[in-house]
Structure 1
Amino acid sequence: MPRRFYRTSHKTGEDNVEVLGLDVHNPVFFIAAVLVVTFIGLTLAFPQSASDVLLASRAWVLETFDWLFVSTVNIVFLFALFIMVSPLGRLRIGGREARPDFSTASWLAMLFSAGIGIGLMFWGAAEPLAYYTNWFGTPLGVEPETPAAHDLALSATMFHWGLNAWSIYAVMGLALAYFAFSKGLPLTVRSAFYPLLGDRIWGWPGHIIDLLAVIATLFGLATSLGLGAQQISSGLHYLFGIEAGIGLQIAIIAFITLIATVSVVRGLDGGVKVLSNINMAMAALFMLFVFAVGPTLLILGGFWDNTINYVRDFIPLSNWIGRDDTEWFHGWTVFYWAWWISWSPFVGMFIARISKGRTVRQFLFCVIFVPLLVTIAWFSTFGEIALLQAETGIGELANGIDEVSLVLFQMLENLPFDQIASMMAVILVLIFFVTSSDSGSLVVDSITAGGKLHAPVPQRIFWACIEGLIAIVLLYGGGAQALTALQAGTIAVGLPFTIVLLVCCVSLWKGLSADSRALRKQEREEVAAKPG
């Protein structure tokens, strides 16, 4: 089927201007830069007030709109399943003749590294242990430190990192990829609104949508860089006694930013793809190493049991009515859904950029279900070991969680070859952060360049450095308090993006349905044209 373009005279980059070698979209680039600088200035000038306001806004958003976040995620998951199994699934992103730009292995490695790879390192052992020991509540009000708590701790963790989370990324990514590669629109979030807004997406409605996407991406990545630097410095202090002060954390962020800048300059093929492949190979090796030296039979049994429990607990955990675990529900589930939604422009756009040539069905299946298998395997490995040590009184985890960033290292300490495993963990965390940073920079480059896939090198360097600079400035000026405030701000941005996500479903349905009808008509004409 030939590519079909929407009837619009607007061209990618039509509103762009050149400034100091940067190909910037006017006014998205400038307004985003001003808002980011203003936010940093106010946060540094009034750290306590900024923190209080943003934390209060986060609490209000999570408590007032819990029903909206949960119902939206449920709708998006069901919508993705329906599209995948329907005849719409056979459509190909980019048109009938389009073919993938990357191998399936590299494609999966890149989407996973950009998505939640770093989160698995941080929470792989800590989150199940938190639920089991009643660290900030227990899921569904289960009695802590019981066999039921053990099972639910793992199934609830997988619930937060499984089908629902990746459905958010999948729908946003599919909408962006479809309208960019099948309809010839710029690769920006505003393009997903074309069936509903028409040419108005080139005006202020579109500018506001892209601004929200840029700010959510920058703030989310800066928060992760800052908190990740704290985790890495804690690990280095725990392993080698290196002072985990602000100087070390800033040095770690600077190092990550430097490597990410080199990677983003090299582009997708020479940078992000290479790092992602290395990342996933090391992650697989790390998990297999822990699986082999740990309680292997327990982990094997846990993989099956946890899968069954995940399916069993899926509906109760998806419900938001009459919950007995309000504190846990708001602090974990609703927070996660808001966080994933706020990250959906970043991860969705990056997945879209690397997914041309995939069929809709292949795209949805791989983006939703392949990460689920990795998630179950990962948490069954690290979560089961952490819970075993807590239940049997082994090591420091017998006392529960003291500092969440150290749980992984405290768990590895009680396994053979613990120094090797811990060093692998530190290196993995570093590389995961680099891949998240450089893929995020490519996304912001694209949005602020009006949807261009290849922004100038100075612009790539600019945004990669800005991400690291935001994290360094906030960490130096306000410490963990400033980063927590930034995280709260990112959650608040997730609220309007719930509406964006629902609108994406409507737009995607309209676009795919029209193309499906056109494809069936073309196939009928081809059959009729055959001789005989």
Structure 2
Amino acid sequence: MADTTATGAPAPEESAIQTDYKIGQDNIRGQIGPFGLDIHNPVFAISGVSVIIFVIVTLLFPDTATGVFGAMMSWVTTRFDWFFILTANIFLVFAIFLAISPYGKVRLGGPDAKPDFTTSGWLAMLFAAGMGIGLLFWSVGEPMTHFASSVAEDAGTPESWAPLGGMPGDVAGSARLGMAATLYHWGLQAWAIYAVVALALALFAFNKGLPLALRSAFYPIFGERVWGWTGHIIDTLAVLATLFGLATSLGLGAEQINAGLNYLYGVPVNSFVKIVLIAVITGVALTSVLRGLDGGVKLASEINMALAFLLLLFVLFVGPTGAALSRVGTSVVDYFAYLPALSMPFGREDENYAQGWSSFYWAWWVSWSPFVGMFIARVSRGRTVREFIVCVMLIPSAVCIIWMSIFAGVAFDQYINDGYTAVADAALEVKLFEMFDVMPLAQLTSLIGIILVAVFFITSSDSGSLVIDTITAGGKDDGPIPQRVFWCIFEGLVAIALLLGGGLGALQSMVVTTGFPFAFVLLLMCVSIVMGLRSEPVVRDRRTPAAT
């Protein structure tokens, strides 16, 4: 079916989108005001003022904030753990549906769009999207935590957790269950969340000509109201969720850097040191912001990728290579074997795992989805929906599985075969350094680990500032530098405020609290994606009978 009317004008549906976009363009794309800030768009004002008030109140009343954060975390996780788990399942099923349905033939950018990057280059960027502070913080910490305190013991019925035939109560079985319980949080469901958001942003920006903003993805549902307060609310929720998701990662990074400096140089572990670390590294990130995307984020990312790859090879070949490689294979098997039990939203008895781990993780991934989703969308023009979904879900998931299996595999081997229990007994932020302690060049590898966390810190802060600025500027990717500086500084201030207001618990609390309402936004986004895909020529032509 032709995409134009008999007069050559745009088809009615597309014409309406373009007309409404022109009507609403001035309402969401701000104008430069005092101090070089984009103040016309109310999203910036609302988000900025909210963050400033939050930081001031938290710093003035840290004890009260600690109690409030704890209460919020408890209320959301104890009552809605099932919702987070169910939502993650919905995103996975939805993504698979899009990949295997006729919608999978739709090309991002239009039927004749060509990819902006080679396939190898595109896959490399998806690989980069899978790397972050979390991989270093949790790669040893989470598997060893589940291993030392088996998930199956919390469930009360360990027989139901043994689909592989071996009881999880034994050492080897606990290691396999611990790895599967970790990969559940870093595998397909996690990347399905990112894939859905990235697809929505790419579809409505590249195929419909709308701004690269979250509100654009809801045009089929709300129409021109996305340019008004409906859109302002959506974008504000996206900004707050992203900001607190980033602050949580920055806070975790500060925790691990402080632990590493204490291990290497005896630097005390306390709030003052963590604040100094956040301030210094935020300052470096600020320099990266001022240097621009190519001179800042790109350079830091390339350095980090090289260091991460070298560290991975070192752990693999200096450690028990055979055990680490075999762990990769068994981890894939265990992940799929335990996946039905781990992703069951109802009738669970493992409250500590479902509420303390899964709820936090799914809220964290949801809060990061505008950040990572916008990056993935920007580099994916010209890909079909099917190619997009498959690669976005599989490539980063594979990176996470390989990375975590190798690091955790070495730690498991140290415990099971060498009797080295320091990793299992250590605090979360120290486990990685305890693993390095009995390997060659322990001082050097620990230092590299600290540098990696710091550079991940810098790239996350810089990239996050760009994404938040894009959202608050109505989809403009060239917003004023002072505005990006504002967001970069306040990402650090929010991380400091949360650390002083309760430490790791406060960081987790704000991710869960802001991720909870934003999860509803993403569920509604799934409906809008289908509505948007239905109007694409390749789908519309397939539904419309040929003219007689």
Both structures adopt the same fold (TM-score exceeding 0.5): yes
1:456 paired to 2:480: yes
Q: Provide the identity percentage.
A: 49
Mapping for residues 301-316 of structure 1, pairs under 5 Å: 301-316=326-341
Contact 1:335 1:491 in 2 (8 A): yes
Q: Distance in 1 between matches of 2:154 and 2:327?
A: 19
Q: Distance in 2 between matches of 1:448 and 1:49?
A: 30
Q: Distance in 1 between matches of 2:296 and 2:381?
A: 19
Q: Report the counterpart of residue 274 of structure 2 in structure 1.
A: 249
Q: Report the counterpart of residue 68 of structure 1 in structure 2.
A: 83
Q: Report the counterpart of residue 17 of structure 1 in structure 2.
A: 31
1:91 paired to 2:106: yes
Q: Distance in 1 between matches of 2:292 and 2:379?
A: 12
For each residue in 1:26-45, what CA deviation from the matched residue of structure 2 results, as whole angstroms up to 9, or x when unmatched?
A: 21111111111111122122
Contact 1:176 1:348 in 2 (8 A): yes
Q: 1:503 aligns with which of 521, 524, 538?
A: 524
Q: Distance in 2 between matches of 1:35 and 1:100?
A: 39
- What amino acid does structure 1 have at the position aligned with 2:70? L
Tell me by how many angstroms 1:109 deviates.
4.7
Tell me by how many angstroms 1:493 deviates.
1.3
1:53 paired to 2:84: no
Q: Distance in 1 between matches of 2:169 and 2:531?
A: 47
Residue aligned with 1:375, SS: helix
Q: Distance in 1 between matches of 2:120 and 2:429?
A: 30
For each residue in 1:279-303, what CA deviation from the matched residue of structure 2 results, as whole angstroms up to 9, or x when unmatched?
A: 2232122111110001111112111
Q: 2:450 aligns with which of 400, 414, 426?
A: 426
Q: What is the aligned-residue RMSD (CA, Å)? A: 2.6
Mapping for residues 258-337 of structure 1, pairs under 5 Å: 258-337=283-362
Contact 2:106 2:539 in 1 (8 A): no
1:117 paired to 2:138: no
Q: 2:535 aligns with which of 501, 511, 514?
A: 514
Mapping for residues 171-250 of structure 1, pairs under 5 Å: 171-250=196-275
Q: Report the counterpart of residue 38 of structure 1 in structure 2.
A: 53
For each residue in 1:404-430, what CA deviation from the matched residue of structure 2 results, as whole angstroms up to 9, or x when unmatched?
A: 111001001111222222122111111
- What amino acid does structure 2 have at the position aligned with 1:436? S
For each residue in 1:49-83, what CA deviation from the matched residue of structure 2 results, as whole angstroms up to 9, or x when unmatched?
A: 22222221221111212222222111110110111
1:340 paired to 2:365: yes
For each residue in 1:208-237, what CA deviation from the matched residue of structure 2 results, as whole angstroms up to 9, or x when unmatched?
A: 111111111112212221231121021011
Tell me by how many angstroms 1:185 deviates.
1.2
Q: Report the counterpart of residue 471 of structure 1 in structure 2.
A: 495
Q: Distance in 2 between matches of 1:185 and 1:356?
A: 14
Q: Distance in 1 between matches of 2:312 and 2:154?
A: 26
Q: Report the counterpart of residue 440 of structure 1 in structure 2.
A: 464
Q: Distance in 2 between matches of 1:79 and 1:90?
A: 16
Residue aligned with 1:17, SS: coil
Contact 2:105 2:538 in 1 (8 A): no
Q: Distance in 2 between matches of 1:196 and 1:110?
A: 32
Residue aligned with 2:38, SS: strand
Tell me by how many angstroms 1:165 deviates.
0.5
The verdict on how the C-alpha distance between 1:78 and 1:72 changes in structure 2, with shifts beyond 3 A counting, is same
Q: Say how many residue pairs are matched.
A: 522
- What amino acid does structure 2 have at the position aligned with 1:17? Q
Q: Distance in 1 between matches of 2:147 and 2:96?
A: 31
Q: Distance in 2 between matches of 1:388 and 1:46?
A: 46
Q: Distance in 2 between matches of 1:356 and 1:514?
A: 18
Q: Distance in 2 between matches of 1:237 and 1:415?
A: 18
Q: Distance in 1 between matches of 2:429 and 2:458?
A: 18
Contact 2:241 2:511 in 1 (8 A): yes
Deviates most, 137-146 or 223-232: 137-146
Tell me by how many angstroms 1:139 deviates.
6.7
Contact 2:359 2:512 in 1 (8 A): no
Deviates most, 205-214 or 244-253: 244-253
For each residue in 1:450-479, what CA deviation from the matched residue of structure 2 results, as whole angstroms up to 9, or x when unmatched?
A: 11121122222222122123334554xx26
The verdict on how the C-alpha distance between 1:77 and 1:98 changes in structure 2, with shifts beyond 3 A counting, is same
Q: Distance in 2 between matches of 1:37 and 1:483?
A: 21
The verdict on how the C-alpha distance between 1:204 and 1:137 changes in structure 2, with shifts beyond 3 A counting, is farther
Residue aligned with 1:10, SS: helix
Deviates most, 17-26 or 222-231: 17-26
Tell me by how many angstroms 1:25 deviates.
4.5
- What amino acid does structure 2 have at the position aligned with 1:485? A
Tell me by how many angstroms 1:445 deviates.
0.8
- What amino acid does structure 1 have at the position aligned with 2:494? I
- What amino acid does structure 2 have at the position aligned with 1:18? I
Q: Distance in 2 between matches of 1:68 and 1:109?
A: 33
Q: Distance in 2 between matches of 1:88 and 1:230?
A: 44
Q: Distance in 1 between matches of 2:154 and 2:131?
A: 22
Residue aligned with 2:218, SS: helix
Q: Distance in 1 between matches of 2:289 and 2:249?
A: 18
Q: Distance in 2 between matches of 1:110 and 1:41?
A: 37
Q: Distance in 2 between matches of 1:459 and 1:332?
A: 35
Q: Distance in 2 between matches of 1:192 and 1:330?
A: 31
Deviates most, 78-87 or 349-358: 349-358
Deviates most, 158-167 or 51-60: 51-60
Structure 1 segments of 4 or more deviating over 6 A? 521-525
Tell me by how many angstroms 1:100 deviates.
3.4
Q: Report the counterpart of residue 162 of structure 2 in structure 1.
A: none
The verdict on how the C-alpha distance between 1:271 and 1:91 changes in structure 2, with shifts beyond 3 A counting, is farther
- What amino acid does structure 1 have at the position aligned with 2:149? N
Q: 2:184 aligns with which of 130, 135, 159?
A: 159
Q: Distance in 2 between matches of 1:40 and 1:456?
A: 23
Contact 2:126 2:395 in 1 (8 A): no
Deviates most, 192-201 or 263-272: 263-272
- What amino acid does structure 2 have at the position aligned with 1:21? G
Q: 1:484 aligns with which of 505, 508, 513?
A: 505
Tell me by how many angstroms 1:104 deviates.
4.4
- What amino acid does structure 1 have at the position aligned with 2:134? G
- What amino acid does structure 2 have at the position aligned with 1:507? S
Residue aligned with 2:400, SS: helix
